[in-house]
Structure 1
Amino acid sequence: MPSAAGTDQQTTNQPNRSPGTRDRFPLEIWILVACGFIIAVGFGILAPALPTFAASFDVGVTAVSLTISAFAFMRLVFAPASGKLVTRLGERRVYFWGLVIVAVATAVCGFAAEYWQLLLFRSLAGIGSTMFTVSGVAMLIRLSPPAMRGRASGLWATSFLLGNITGPLIGGGLVEISIRLPFLVYGVTVLLAAFVSLIFLRNSTQADRETEETPTAPMRIRDALRHKTYRAALASNFGNGWAVFGVRISLIPLFVVEVLRTGESMAGFSLAVFAAGNAAALLFSGRLADRIGRKPLALAGLLVSGGGTIWLGFTGSVEMFLAASLIAGVGSGMLSPPQSAVVADIIGNRGKGGPVLAGFQMAADVGAIIGPLVAGVLADTVSYGAAFGVTGLITLLAVIFWVPAPETLPKPTAAATVEPAASGKATELAPESGALFDAPEPPTGERLGGKPGQPDA
């Protein structure tokens, strides 16, 4: 297997391949994708059981919701620490132990005798979740050839999506046997993913490769924030978290019952339609992002997702509601691979970007926490149209950040200088690494968070 450095240099120095040329991912990426699918299946198995199990402790709706929010809150709080752990211990170790923490904490939830125990163990699972998410994406970035980062991000997202679709079908049957059984099965599936990663990545020269060849200090988030495209990715991920991971789950069931006057089963069907649109877009958006650039796909995804979300709040029939759900799902699927690829481009294969990845994840987590609160208040005091309208507007506002942002798709040559950005800085591709830097003129010879004598930042 060729070294990652050789892969980077070949991808960077050679022209874009023709459509007939077969591009191949390293085996390690397929291992990460398989583990992602297993993890997502387990999460889907747990989804139907968690609210019902929490309610069985004779607590109110707020307390039931808290078991879900506590997981997301701990992901948010522990994300910076996860980024630092990735830098100090390496992606593979943090990935493995993050999965082990999630597996054990969730399995123990099935034995909880009181509500506070369930809340505590779910919070611990949130810590493990952010550990394996940040480290997994870090490995995905480091192992992906620069010209295939969009496809790698799309493949990663598809594995989780398919797992989330498959899991609830299994979980619904397990709940009929025992309300505690899904927690145990989820723990076993995640533990399986942990040992799959341990076995197949343990002896991998690519997964264990360090950066001594070109030593660099870890990229700091304040350095990445100097890049307009990273700020754009944060804005779009915040909007995506607000709309997709927050408002969509919290408001759609209520909208279906109270406004459309249909059964709750229609809410599940609409979420399935959203997922179908998402999956359909993921099939082509990653490849297009690698061909025509990250920026066009991100802008198109924001416009389609924002427009579809606004339309949701003004639908008056089931048919229009499902059509809007499908369009919003397509928009989200178009957005996910290019914005993830942008973060990968900025970090580069040789860089250690745990804190930068943590910041990217936190943007979505903050949106997922704030979004349902704001939208809920608007739905109660104004209307559902206002709630979905503001949600769509938050997504569309990210366009303002993307329009002036420079393209980050690696160029065919090793150090090709592209058109100057609005700030008067030229965007250059660092040789072999695939990482982008805003180079002021004249250069100072100091790389972002790095050492003198390297490409200027």
Structure 2
Amino acid sequence: MSASPLSEPTTTARIPREIWVLIASAFVIALGFGLILPVLPQFAQSFGVGATASSIVVSAFAFFRLLFAPVGGRLIARMGERPIYLAGLLIVAVSTGATAFAQTYWQLLVFRGLGGIGSVMFTVSAVALIVRLAPPTIRARVSSVYASAFLFGGILGPVVGGLLGNLGLRVPFLVYAVALVLAAALVGVFLSGASLRPAEGHREMPVMTVREGWRDSAYRASIGSAFANGWANFGVRNAILPLFAAVVIGKQPWVAGTALAVFAAGNAVGLTVAGRMSDRVGRRPFIIGGLLVSGVATAVTGFATDLTTLVVLSVVAGVGAGTLNPAQQASLADVVGRDRNGGPALAAFQMSSDTGAIIGPVLAGLLIDNGSYPLAFGVTGLITLLAVIPWLRARETHDVRHGARFDAAKRPADPTESESTVAEGTREA
């Protein structure tokens, strides 16, 4: 019996061409999405509603993502990720274009919410393809590069969106719709033949169910951290931070855009470090550290009284979130493995994040309307810190000694089994 790595060494493994196509598309999508972040809450309030109602617009998008996630996972397994990815982009493009012409708050709510259907389609499709194609020894690096594309677009997008907002609150939505069409064209032209379905004549890949994943302590912990991350960074930060910046600093759209952009910049720093290091030393240290840093910085954000303090706290929170994301994504990929169809399990992970993104802004809005901004951000930070607890008992999914992950299908069902026994899963006769 001799040790045999399951994949290429980290120094020789390369990112597949299909993933580079998704990375380029991610940048275009994030650039467009960043355009509307600074103006969406103010656009909602232009119809005469308060903080709670404007936050519900953000939550509605996540709510439709949540509802459609199980259907999206089944469609991907049946039809392949490429057609579902393209359909999702076009659905969000139409929804965003319609949002620009909303004449009432309820039209805005419906048009923006329906875009969540397309969003979950292209999000889960991209994650499923990355899980299948990424070499195991560079999973965190692949997740880091992919997320960095979103963040670089996120850094530029809010700044440009804040400037475009000066031309009218509807303009960024029209530009975002065009960006989505461009992303669909990019994928349609350069990503061909990639599918979760095996080639004709090959056996069907077994499906990893949510119940099967739930038996794994790392999967359970990832569900909890996804919920907290969705609550804090996809929900409250996008919905509440622009309103907080307008109240404390100034109502100009560029103020909110700056706060969101520096968060994305800090995120990029965290991604760069964690993306490479977690492939070498393991996933858990970066997940736990990222949750702690992000949680503390978020909890004290509500006490910022000037732009400098808000910028510093946003950068620190961004570093924490950036440290968390690639390690968490890689750990999830370790659990699913390359030889299984992880659609249902990945959809459940996405649903957990979306649930947090739904509940977080609504509760934060209620806390603001009936309490204060410090209370809203304090509760959000606490939720993030609580997500650390499951990870303290979760297993490490990456076998750093051999530079390869041990296949989820080969590890023992009991996560508490000794490490020496688990390591045997990486050996071949």
Corresponding residue for 1:197? 187
Q: What is residue 272 of structure 2 aligned with on the other side?
A: 283
CA gap of 1:341–1:277, structure 2 versus 1, over 3 A, is same
Residues 1:167 and 2:154 aligned together: no
Q: Which residue of 2 aligns with 1:423?
A: 416
Matching residue within 236, 253, 256 for 1:247: 236
Q: Letter of the 1:407 partner, please give it.
A: E
The answer to whether residue 256 in structure 2 is matched with residue 263 in structure 1 is no
Which residue is 1:352 aligned to? 341
Distance 1:52 1:413 in 2: 48
In 2, Cα distance between the equivalents of 1:228 and 1:130?
25
Other-structure match for 1:454: none
Is the 8 Å Cα contact of residues 211 and 350 (structure 1) preserved in structure 2?
no
Contact 1:69 1:369 in 2 (8 A): yes
Which residue of structure 1 aligns with residue 144 of structure 2? Answer: 154
In structure 1, what is the Cα distance between the partners aligned to 2:393 and 2:290?
17
Cα deviation, residue 179, structure 1: 5.0
* Aligned Cα root-mean-square deviation (Å): 3.2
> Secondary structure of the equivalent of 1:157?
helix
Aligned to 2:357: 368
Q: Flag the 1:34–1:142 CA change in 2: closer, same or farther, 3 A.
A: same
Assess if the C-alpha contact under 8 Å between 1:404 and 1:422 holds in 2. no
Q: Which amino acid aligns with 2:151?
A: L
Among candidates 282, 288, 295, match of residue 293 of structure 1: 282
Task: Give me the identity figure in percent.
Answer: 47
| 2:37–2:238 Cα contact (<8 Å) kept | no
Higher relative contact order (CA 8 A, sep 6+): 2
The amino acid that maps onto 1:307 is V
Cα deviation code 1:364-404 (max 9, x no counterpart): 11112222333344455555444333322221222211112
The 1:264–1:179 alpha-carbon spacing in structure 2 relative to 1, beyond 3 Å, is: closer
Larger of the two Rg values belongs to structure: 1
In the alignment, what sits opposite 1:4?
none
Indicate conservation of the 8 Å contact 2:406/2:425, yes or no. yes
* Stretches of structure 1 lacking an aligned partner (at least 5 in a row): 1-8, 433-457
Counterpart in the other structure of 2:124: 134
Letter of the aligned partner of 1:270 in structure 2? Answer: A
Unaligned runs of 5+ in 2: none
Aligned to 2:380: 391
Give the secondary structure class of the aligned counterpart of 2:339.
coil
Q: Distance in 2 between matches of 1:117 and 1:381?
A: 27
Shift of 1:98: 0.9
Structure with the higher fraction of residues in helix conformation: 2
Describe the SS at the equivalent of 2:250. coil
Letter of the 2:147 counterpart: A
Shift of 1:11: 6.1
Deviation at 1:207, TM superposition (A): 7.3
1:450 is matched with none
Is 2:315 the partner of 1:326?
Answer: yes
Equivalence for 2:212:
223
Q: Does the CA-based 8 Å contact 2:152-2:265 persist in structure 1?
A: no
Is 1:336 aligned to residue 325 of structure 2? yes
Question: Aligned pair count?
Answer: 416
* Contact 1:406 1:421 (C-alpha < 8 Å) held by counterparts: no
The verdict on how the C-alpha distance between 1:418 and 1:430 changes in structure 2, with shifts beyond 3 A counting, is: closer
Distance in 1 between residues matched to 2:44 and 2:241, nearest whole Å: 22
- 2:95 pairs with 105, 110, 123, which one? 105
Q: Which digits, 9 at most, give the CA deviation of each residue in 1:97-153, with x for residues without a partner?
A: 111211223223344455544443323211011100011111111110011110111
Determine if contact 1:201/1:207 at 8 Å carries over to the other structure: no
Q: TM-score, normalised to structure 1's length?
A: 0.80
Q: Distance in 1 between matches of 2:172 and 2:305?
A: 37
Residue of structure 2 in register with 1:12 after alignment:
6
Q: Say if 1:405 and 1:421, in contact at 8 Å, map to a contact too.
A: no
Report if aligned partners of 1:109, 1:183 keep a CA contact under 8 Å in 2: yes
Q: Kindly state the Cα deviation for residue 162 of structure 1 after the two structures are TM-superposed.
A: 1.4
